[in-house]
Chains A and B, each alone.
Chain A
Amino acid sequence: MPHMTAFARNQWYVAAYSHEVGRELLGRTVLGEPLVLYRSQEDGTPVALNGRCVHRRYPLSEPPTRLDGDRIVCGYHGFTYDTTGACVYVPGQKRVPRTARIASYPVVEQDSLVWVWIGDPALANPSGIPRARHLDSPGWVTVRGMEPIDCDYGLLVDNLLDLSHETYLHGGYIGTPEVAETPITTEVDEGAGIVRVSRHMDDAECPPFYARSTGIEGRITRWQDIEYFAPCLYLLHSRVAPVGVVPEPDGSDPGGFHTEVTYAITPSADGRVYDFWAVSRDWATDEAEVSEFLRSNNHTVVMQDVDALNLLQRTLGTERHGYQELSINIDTGGLAARRILARLAEEGDKPVERAR
């Protein structure tokens, strides 16, 4: 059995994009908990309930389960639940058993993401959710998608915290020799659970992803500034510009192309993770061809990661006696992230003292 990164409970996780949650029932599994999501007709807010009927565990995201107004009617025997998870109807009898209730989860819809709190609902504090404003701000255009990967979510965190793999796994798309060759700076705010990894390339080849979308010809100055808000949100602030073009002294940056690459890393089950990915830009915002190019190109890049991580997980699973790893300088940020995740998992497992 390969190593599995422990789940961190009492945290917010992205369960879906806003556009995925509507009047059709959506099933997702987060930290091993089956969820069913839908949007309330009454007030338009997303609802997240446990996705198994209390009666015989029928999956509430599967037909013929359906919505009746804001109530969800199990497709097997008709058990009916309101938006709080309380059962309001059982077939054939007037008395609804007191224990007929499914869990409801705190939900926050923000920045076009639907966040759910997995853990003790009394501890859910929406102000702790990291922001990704560019996903839903005027002046920004975003292309996005989601791919499930059959791997430990820790492997995806490792992958994203160390972009030197771009040179090898994503060569010809976003990788160039300079990414792997350029030293990184790592900053860790251990208490806040944030890891920042920066790689500033002064004179680099322009990969096709940026050459064809921005129209820059020749070599570039390329900055990659990662912010990972453990456990779920990952932002890559990318800046590319012709070599030597840097921001103005007043901080404005008319010569730079800014792209925000967002990932939500949501552990689904042991050995399975949702890879939500988005590419946002504030340039060429009215050019549909650029959007389509970035969507298609980034989807290819994401699938290269998906294939590699699926393979890596299967390979780790064949190790009979465990395995050792070797970490080098490029892993400085990834190691910090692992440590923070281990701490969050430990904290999430502890019983919490409540103020009375």
Chain B
Amino acid sequence: MTAPAGKIYRVDWVPGTDLLHGTCHCGAEHTAEDPVAMWEWMLGHPEGHQGVE
């Protein structure tokens, strides 16, 4: 489902590593090794984003 405008997904490439650190608009965080996996997790919201709201 598409998030309403103003809800921001953020992905930081962690300096000094090859890792991506993602923060969903709901506050859930996730680390992944490639952007395909990261977006899969991120845009799966709310699945797998439990515990933060």
**Residue among A192, A331, A332, A336 with max Cβ neighbours from chain B (10 Å):** A332
If A187-B9, A189-B6, A192-B6 touch, whether A339 touches B43 (CB-CB below 8 Å) is yes
If A183-B15, A186-B10, A332-B20 touch, whether A191 touches B3 (CB-CB below 8 Å) is yes
CA distance A188 to B5 in the complex (A): 10
The interface residues of chain B lying within 8 Å CB-to-CB of A328 are 34-35
The interface residues of chain B lying within 8 Å CB-to-CB of A184 are 13
The interface residues of chain A lying within 8 Å CB-to-CB of B8 are 187-189
How many whole Å from B50's CB to the nearest CB in chain A? 20
CA distance A239 to B11 in the complex (A): 22
CA distance A184 to B20 in the complex (A): 10
Whether A343 is near chain B, meaning CB under 8 Å from some CB there, is: yes
Docked-complex contact B39 and A335, CB < 8 angstroms = yes
How many whole Å from A192's CB to the nearest CB in chain B? 4
How many whole Å from B28's CB to the nearest CB in chain A? 15
The interface residues of chain B lying within 8 Å CB-to-CB of A331 are 35
Docked-complex contact A332 and B7, CB < 8 angstroms = no
Interface size bracket, B side: 20 to 34
Interface size bracket, A side: 10 to 19
Docked-complex contact B11 and A190, CB < 8 angstroms = no
The interface residues of chain B lying within 8 Å CB-to-CB of A189 are 5-8
Interface residue ranges of B4-52 to A (CB < 8 Å): 4-15, 18, 20, 34-36, 38-39, 43
Binding site for B on A (CB under 8 A): 183-192, 327-329, 331-332, 335-336, 339, 343
Q: Report 9 cross-chain contacts, Cβ distance below 8 Å, ordered by A residue.
A: A183-B12, A188-B11, A189-B6, A190-B9, A191-B4, A328-B35, A329-B34, A332-B39, A339-B43
